[in-house]
Amino acid sequence: QVQLVASGGGVVQTGGSLRLSCAASGMPFSTAFMAWFRQAPGKEREKVATIHWRGGTTTYADSVKGRFTISRDNSKNTVYLQMNSLKPEDTAVYFCAAAQPPSYNYDFWGQGTQVTVSS
Protein backbone atom coordinates (compact mmCIF):
# COMPACT_ATOMS: atom_id res chain seq x y z
CA GLN A 1 0.00 0.00 0.00
CA VAL A 2 1.45 3.32 -1.09
CA GLN A 3 1.60 6.01 1.57
CA LEU A 4 2.75 9.59 1.24
CA VAL A 5 2.94 11.48 4.51
CA ALA A 6 3.44 15.22 4.26
CA SER A 7 4.62 17.37 7.13
CA GLY A 8 6.20 20.72 7.88
CA GLY A 9 3.31 23.08 7.33
CA GLY A 10 2.46 25.84 9.72
CA VAL A 11 1.87 29.55 10.17
CA VAL A 12 4.59 31.96 9.13
CA GLN A 13 4.81 35.69 8.54
CA THR A 14 5.28 37.25 5.14
CA GLY A 15 8.89 36.84 4.08
CA GLY A 16 9.42 33.78 6.23
CA SER A 17 10.43 30.26 5.29
CA LEU A 18 9.14 26.75 5.72
CA ARG A 19 10.36 23.36 4.59
CA LEU A 20 7.83 20.69 3.74
CA SER A 21 8.70 17.01 3.75
CA CYS A 22 6.92 14.07 2.19
CA ALA A 23 7.91 10.56 3.23
CA ALA A 24 6.94 7.77 0.86
CA SER A 25 6.47 4.09 1.52
CA GLY A 26 5.04 1.07 -0.26
CA MET A 27 6.42 1.98 -3.68
CA PRO A 28 9.76 2.06 -5.51
CA PHE A 29 10.57 5.69 -4.65
CA SER A 30 13.78 5.95 -6.69
CA THR A 31 11.88 5.59 -10.01
CA ALA A 32 9.01 7.91 -9.14
CA PHE A 33 8.49 11.42 -10.39
CA MET A 34 7.50 13.48 -7.38
CA ALA A 35 5.59 16.73 -7.19
CA TRP A 36 4.10 19.26 -4.84
CA PHE A 37 0.67 20.69 -5.53
CA ARG A 38 -1.32 23.24 -3.58
CA GLN A 39 -4.93 24.26 -3.31
CA ALA A 40 -6.22 27.43 -1.75
CA PRO A 41 -9.88 27.87 -0.72
CA GLY A 42 -12.04 28.53 -3.74
CA LYS A 43 -9.19 27.97 -6.18
CA GLU A 44 -8.16 25.15 -8.44
CA ARG A 45 -5.33 22.85 -7.51
CA GLU A 46 -2.01 24.16 -8.78
CA LYS A 47 1.12 22.19 -9.57
CA VAL A 48 3.88 23.96 -7.68
CA ALA A 49 7.02 21.94 -8.42
CA THR A 50 8.14 18.62 -9.86
CA ILE A 51 11.33 16.61 -9.69
CA HIS A 52 12.60 13.84 -11.93
CA TRP A 53 13.37 10.52 -10.30
CA ARG A 54 17.08 11.15 -10.74
CA GLY A 55 16.69 14.50 -9.06
CA GLY A 56 18.49 16.48 -11.74
CA THR A 57 15.47 17.96 -13.50
CA THR A 58 12.99 20.20 -11.74
CA THR A 59 10.13 22.40 -12.83
CA TYR A 60 8.32 25.20 -11.02
CA ALA A 61 5.16 27.21 -11.38
CA ASP A 62 5.92 30.78 -12.41
CA SER A 63 4.39 31.99 -9.15
CA VAL A 64 7.09 30.29 -7.05
CA LYS A 65 10.17 30.40 -9.27
CA GLY A 66 13.18 31.75 -7.44
CA ARG A 67 11.52 31.29 -4.03
CA PHE A 68 10.78 27.55 -3.77
CA THR A 69 13.15 24.64 -4.22
CA ILE A 70 12.14 21.01 -4.61
CA SER A 71 14.62 18.28 -3.76
CA ARG A 72 14.64 14.62 -2.93
CA ASP A 73 16.66 12.12 -0.96
CA ASN A 74 16.18 8.70 -2.50
CA SER A 75 18.01 7.06 0.42
CA LYS A 76 15.28 8.37 2.74
CA ASN A 77 12.34 8.02 0.33
CA THR A 78 11.60 11.67 0.98
CA VAL A 79 10.90 14.71 -1.14
CA TYR A 80 11.21 18.25 0.19
CA LEU A 81 9.91 21.68 -0.68
CA GLN A 82 11.93 24.57 0.67
CA MET A 83 9.79 27.69 0.60
CA ASN A 84 11.44 31.07 1.08
CA SER A 85 10.17 34.64 0.85
CA LEU A 86 6.66 33.42 1.53
CA LYS A 87 3.72 35.59 0.55
CA PRO A 88 0.10 35.59 1.73
CA GLU A 89 -0.90 34.21 -1.66
CA ASP A 90 1.15 31.08 -0.90
CA THR A 91 -1.43 30.18 1.74
CA ALA A 92 -2.90 26.81 0.79
CA VAL A 93 -2.99 23.14 1.60
CA TYR A 94 0.10 21.57 0.07
CA PHE A 95 0.03 18.02 -1.22
CA CYS A 96 2.81 15.76 -2.39
CA ALA A 97 2.15 13.35 -5.21
CA ALA A 98 3.96 10.49 -6.89
CA ALA A 99 3.94 9.29 -10.47
CA GLN A 100 5.20 5.84 -11.33
CA PRO A 101 6.23 4.28 -14.62
CA PRO A 102 5.00 3.51 -17.16
CA SER A 103 2.08 5.95 -17.07
CA TYR A 104 3.73 8.65 -14.95
CA ASN A 105 0.30 9.89 -13.90
CA TYR A 106 0.15 11.39 -10.41
CA ASP A 107 -1.91 8.55 -8.99
CA PHE A 108 -0.65 8.65 -5.41
CA TRP A 109 -1.31 11.54 -3.06
CA GLY A 110 -0.42 12.54 0.46
CA GLN A 111 -2.90 13.91 2.98
CA GLY A 112 -1.88 17.54 2.65
CA THR A 113 -0.31 19.99 5.04
CA GLN A 114 -1.62 23.50 5.70
CA VAL A 115 0.62 26.49 5.03
CA THR A 116 -0.64 29.86 6.22
CA VAL A 117 1.28 33.04 5.52
CA SER A 118 0.13 36.02 7.55
CA SER A 119 0.53 39.56 6.31
Average pLDDT across each block of 10 residues of the chain; the chain has 119 residues. List them in order: 95 98 91 94 96 86 98 94 98 96 91 96
Please tell me the predicted confidence (pLDDT) of residue 53. 80
Selection from 55, 67, 61, 53 nearest residue 100 by Cα: 53
Output the CA–CA distances (angstroms, integers) from residue 67 to 83, 94, 105, in the order listed.
Answer: 6, 16, 26
Please tell me the predicted confidence (pLDDT) of residue 54. 75
Output the CA–CA distances (angstroms, integers) from residue 98 to 11, 16, 67, 78, in the order listed.
Answer: 26, 27, 22, 11
